[in-house]
């Protein structure tokens, strides 16, 4: 391995040692290291690069993970005697998250290693700074801002691409909480997206100072906020007058407890 590859692997292992329950800052640093680092994926079938190559798999709390190790030294310590494949963290994240698979780092280690859920692989794949840090606490907003909702509903009614709008209060593991607006659109073409962006810009002026507002596409099957909205939220604007509405649990989309 190159010197840069060795350094990246060392950074992953260094950050892995910092992770303990409740240390979300250390866990976030680990995710950044994984994006730049490499992982040794354990192959249950086949050899690296072969058409029949298949990662191992394990299930924890009902979620699927592919086991891996963080260096050649950890591979030797694991006692794994089948084939393996060395891949970059970013490539693995892009390959695994669409099928809702995470990775489990060093399951042979004392304490059982650390699991990275598929939602965090999605963040690595799409940009850690673009997505809120989970696990997320999501609930109905308790904000008293009727003027904003009324203004947004009026503009939505004049924007033919909008089918419905819903809302959620999102509290990330790290960072400020924010109001999320779910966008249910008839059409996601460029012209419609531009019209919806203009709709939001026209309405945002009545939002109280300091209140962050974000949007989420309801068609995104991998977004945890969108998942929660589809399962739990009643639209505050609904062009077709549909009204879904069960209730749900906080932390939607993440394992109930991180395992370290």
Q: Please name the residue ranges forming H helices in 146-252.
A: 146-157, 190-203, 224-232
What is the structure's pLDDT at 256?
59
pTM of the model: 0.83
Q: Strand (E) positions, the chain?
A: 38-45, 54-55, 58-60, 63-69, 84-88, 101-105, 114-116, 137-139, 162-171, 178-185, 213-217, 237-238
SS3 content of the chain, % helix, strand, coil (to 5): 35, 25, 40
| Complete domains list, the chain, with CATH | 3-130 (no CATH), 137-238 (3.30.300)
What is the structure's pLDDT at 246?
46
Locus of tokens 């390959």? 95
What is the structure's pLDDT at 116?
97
**Which candidate, 203, 207, 204, places its Cα nearest to that of 157?**
203
Taking the chain (260 residues) in consecutive chunks of 10 residues, what is each chunk's mean pLDDT? Answer: 54 93 94 94 92 92 96 95 95 96 96 95 95 94 94 96 97 96 95 95 93 95 96 94 48 53
Report residue 134 CA to chain centroid gap: 7
C-alpha distance from residue 62 to each of 65, 102, 117, 257 (Å)? 10, 12, 11, 11
In angstroms, rounded to a whole number, what is the distance separating the alpha carbons of residues 27 and 180? Answer: 24
């Amino acid at each position: 391995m190159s010197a840069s590859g060795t350094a990246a692997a060392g950074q992953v292992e260094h950050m892995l040692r910092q992770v303990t329950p409740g240390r979300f800052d250390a866990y976030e640093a680990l995710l950044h290291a994984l994006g730049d680092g490499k992982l040794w994926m354990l192959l249950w079938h086949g050899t690296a690069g072969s058409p029949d190559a298949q990662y191992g798999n394990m299930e924890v709390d009902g979620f699927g993970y592919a086991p891996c190790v963080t260096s050649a030294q950890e591979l030797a310590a694991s006692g794994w005697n089948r084939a393996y494949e060395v891949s970059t963290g970013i490539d693995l994240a892009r390959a695994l998250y669409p099928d809702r698979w995470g990775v489990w780092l060093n399951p042979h280690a004392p304490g059982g290693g650390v699991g990275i859920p598929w939602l965090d692989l999605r963040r690595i794949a799409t940009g850690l700074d673009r997505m809120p840090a989970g696990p997320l606490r999501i609930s109905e907003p308790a904000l008293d801002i009727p003027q904003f909702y009324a203004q947004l509903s009026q503009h939505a009614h004049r924007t033919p691409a909008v089918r419905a709008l819903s809302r959620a209060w999102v509290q990330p593991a790290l960072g400020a909480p924010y109001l999320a607006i779910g966008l249910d659109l008839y059409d996601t073409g460029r012209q419609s997206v531009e019209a919806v962006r203009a709709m939001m810009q026209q309405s945002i002026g009545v939002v109280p100072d300091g209140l962050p507002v974000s949007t989420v596409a309801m068609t995104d099957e991998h977004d945890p906020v969108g998942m929660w909205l589809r399962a739990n939220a009643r639209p505050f604007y609904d062009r077709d007058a549909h009204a879904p509405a069960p209730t749900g649990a906080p932390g939607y989309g993440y394992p109930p407890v991180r395992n370290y």
